[in-house]
Amino acid sequence: MRWIYLAIVSLLVACGDDTAPPASTNNMSVGTNNQTNTNNTQTNTSNNATLPSTNQSATQTNNTTGPLPDCDLLDPEIGVCDPLCQRGCDSGEACVTEENAEGFEVSCVDAGAGIQDTPCEADSDCRAGLTCLAPEGGESVCVEYCRTGSDAQPQCAPDYTCRPFGRESRVGICFLATNECTFFPDSCPADRECYSTDNGTRCGIFDPEAEPGVTCENSNECNEGFRCAGTGASDLTCKQICNPDEEVDTCPESTTCQIMRNSSGESLGWGACF
């Protein structure tokens, strides 16, 4: 059974408030929140994310059995082949990735027939353009490669999200996130907060003793109503959460509500006061 290390780094762009700086001037990050809610427990790690279990199949966007036409090769290249465009391997082979503590590598294997969410035992069970990975608490399934941070092909099917790898953020895999809570209003119990995670929104504990502006790595290190955010991965502090859809900015004086987005540019559904 093969696992995966994936990045959960999110970008912050300006909200619709006219006083906020334009999106192109922002390059901000939020702390990671890889949580599980079994028996109301929570786990937080930086880059050791696992895929959610799902039985739902998706219609592939690229539907590839070989090289993807009109596909931009990765530049600089990763290795002997390109997993996004499926080029560099012989006919009947697939370009697959391997990520571990030592690094990120690509190689060519015989291509199979498995599509998104089809059970598999090895990469060779999946069609070209997919890889075999083990979801959390489930069997290994074929998951499609996707391009992060761009609208260029390949992209995920509707309802699927492209999650980047930790050691090669230009490449991601398509997964189906499920949400258990909302931010506005916060639908979690009184002693829990709703957090963004790699597997959708989850209710998790917070630190009732954390002060605003304290250095953090994960949002649950902050107090109720605060999240871990900053101008970069090395500048993360606990900042007040806000609703970017409200007409009146609820942030403290001299700060504005700015939308939080993931690394693919998708809104996380909440903002932070900067």
Range in 165-179, 209-223, 236-250 with the lowest mean pLDDT: 165-179
Task: Supply 186's token pair.
Answer: 């916060």
Q: What is the pLDDT of residue 265?
A: 72
The single-letter code of the amino acid at 186 is D
CA distances from 177 to 126, 211, 250, 257 (A): 21, 31, 29, 25
| pTM (2 d.p.) | 0.54
* Cα-only R_g, the chain: 19
pLDDT in tens, 157-215: 988 888 888 889 899 999 887 788 999 999 999 999 999 877 778 899 999 999 999 99
Q: Is-contact 261 9, C-beta < 8 A?
A: no
Average pLDDT over residues 70-91: 94
Q: What is the pLDDT of residue 188?
A: 94
Q: What is the pLDDT of residue 135?
A: 60
pLDDT in tens, 58-78: 333 333 445 677 899 999 999
CA 52 and chain centroid, separation:
12
Mean pLDDT of the chain: 76
- Grade residue 263 by pLDDT with cuts at 50, 70 and 90: low
